[in-house]
Amino acid sequence: MANSMNITLKVWRQAGPKAKGGFETYVVPEANPHMSFLELLDVLNEQLIKEGKEPVEFDHDCREGICGSCGVVIDGQAHGPQQRTACCQLHMRHYKDGDSIVIEPWRAEGFPIIKDLVVDRTSFDRIIAAGGYISANTGAAQDANSLPIAKADADLAMDFAACIGCGACVAACPNASASLFTAAKIAQLSLLPQGDPERKSRAIAMVDQMEQEGFGDCSNHTECEAVCPKGISVSAITKMRREYMKAVIG
């Protein structure tokens, strides 16, 4: 195959949540530089199935960097070496013939391993269920621009809303903190008038739920921002802390 590459993969294999896991080494002899990283895993699984072996389990869905399903740690970095890129959008042209790549799952108490590279991220769902929504009756849909929101606030809310809930922030944080994910949701809604009625209860409920899920606290390493595929700023965490303190004191 023209421009094909010989790639060695060291993949974490674990049969189940309580099983002992370990790395297994595989060679993909005809990787194409135009493949996405997930397509490389597809090719590996086709090889394994042909050999009568069990394929590698990994999460994926849209493969367009939108859904947040595809997270794995690649060579020690959540989502791999390219900044602001989910691993489904990482392409093999960033590697060269003969490279060896280590692939492992997110590792955090709040993300228990289900199998191989798949982790249970329903903890994020429970944080959202605790308050990451608007239940106050806001009436019928407003006409465009009838609700005055400062452009700076609207733009910032959209920046925070870009979070896809992939969990890379947790995987990269030395404390396995979910602060950036939780903060993005709290900060987004706090900037919009629709989110104001539940502002205090939301901040308390979501932060408390985050702690109950076993995630660590933020200690300002900012690794979360560095690996976030959407570039969510750690300024969200500052806003979350302010929202929480105001809610508790007030």
SS (H, E, C) 8-74: EEEEEECCCCCCCCEEEEEEEEEECCCCEHHHHHHHHHHHHHHCCCCCCCCCCCCCCCCCCCCCCEE
* Residues in contact with 103: Cβ distance below 8 Å, sequence separation at least 6, in sequence order: 9, 10, 11, 12, 41, 72, 73, 74, 117
8 Å CB contact between 183 and 156 = no
Q: Where are the domains of the chain?
A: 5-104, 121-136+149-249
Q: Which fold has domain 5-104?
A: Ubiquitin-like (UB roll) (3.10.20)
User: What number is the average pLDDT over the span 237-246?
Assistant: 97
Question: Which tens digit of pLDDT belongs to each residue from 3-31?
Answer: 789 999 999 999 999 999 999 999 999 89
pLDDT grade for 198, boundaries at 50, 70 and 90: very high
Position 249 confidence tier, pLDDT thresholds 50, 70, 90: very high
The burial class, CB within 10 Å (0-12 / 13-18 / 19+), for 58 is buried
Which pLDDT band, with edges at 50, 70 and 90, does 144 fall under? low
User: What CATH fold (topology level) applies to the domain 121-136+149-249?
Assistant: Fumarate Reductase Iron-sulfur Protein; Chain B, domain 2 (1.10.1060)
Q: Is the dihedral of CA 70, 76, 78, 82 positive or negative?
A: negative
CB atoms within 10 A of CB 216: 18
Give the pLDDT confidence score for residue 2 in this predicted structure. Answer: 55
